[in-house]
Amino acid sequence: MKVTVVGAGNVGATCADVLAYREIANEVVLVDIKEGFAEGKALDIWQKSPINLYDTRTVGVTNDYTRTANSDVVVITSGLPRKPGMTRDDLISTNAGIVRSVTENVIKHSPEAIIIVVSNPLDVMTYQAHLTSKLPRTKVMGMAGILDTARYRAFLAEELNVSPKDIQAVLMGGHGDTMVPLPRYTTVGGIPVTELIDPAKLDAIVDRTKNGGGELVKLMGTSAWYAPGSAAAQMVEAIVRDQKRVFPVCIKLEGEYGIDGTYLGVPVVLGKNGIEKVIELQLNEDEMALLRASEKAVREVMDVLDNMPTEA
């Protein structure tokens, strides 16, 4: 198995490191436009293989997509990170151009690859990659839900003083302030979370989750990378190892939840063919209203992309 990670910044390098450490693929190719950057990161990851005892070869290249040929999975992390005061939507013009160019190069050399998009604004960059690649919707997806649920579960584990391993949760909708956490589907060791935590505290955790990325930007002056990189690697693992994992993933909806044509995070089954099934939950009226609001917000940014000049 061969996996390519485009973008050797913090998120991409973390993703490549996790893929190598967990021996998820035989070879991981790291690509970047900055001369020597990917080569250095890949060499550093390879040099710790005798310490952490793994066999995965990591290779770095500068803008040479021929080296990525016949990749089974490609993770796109390219683009500008958010800066303080900048919303994900502010990034759309620049990052759409980057994702378009990267996707063209990826498809040229790996026409059968499954593409995972991490670039922000996530839902709309997934749309851009899907438009450019012309692949089936099951093979172009965005990583957001795993990251968002991880933040939600981490905050709950901290509040309840329990292991995060025992917390299961589902979030839906767009990546950002309009995401839709679902406390009704959140459990701690099989126990509904609503039986273990005060409603006001749960609401506060949900709000913190919605603004989880912004909290980190304020603290560090740039976007997160450990959790996003690890989340992307977990998606790669589910595909490469055909695990049939149930994850919230950004996909183009085609009638599910009564939504058509918008890219939103929903629970899916992830395996060797990419998204093998979209799971439709029986949402109540309040949950559906939140999902509709999230759809409206994502649709507005998709419209911005649709109306941008193609050279953007």
Instruction: Give the active site residues.
Output: 175
Determine the angle formed by the axes of helices 10-21 and 37-47, rounding to 10 degrees.
30
CA distances from 226 to 11, 233, 290 (A): 7, 11, 29
Residue with tokens 């999902």: 291
Which residue from 108, 41, 45 is spatially nearest to 77, judged by alpha carbons?
A: 41
Q: Note whether 144 and 181 are within 8 A (CB).
A: no
d(C-alpha 206, C-alpha 148), whole Å: 10
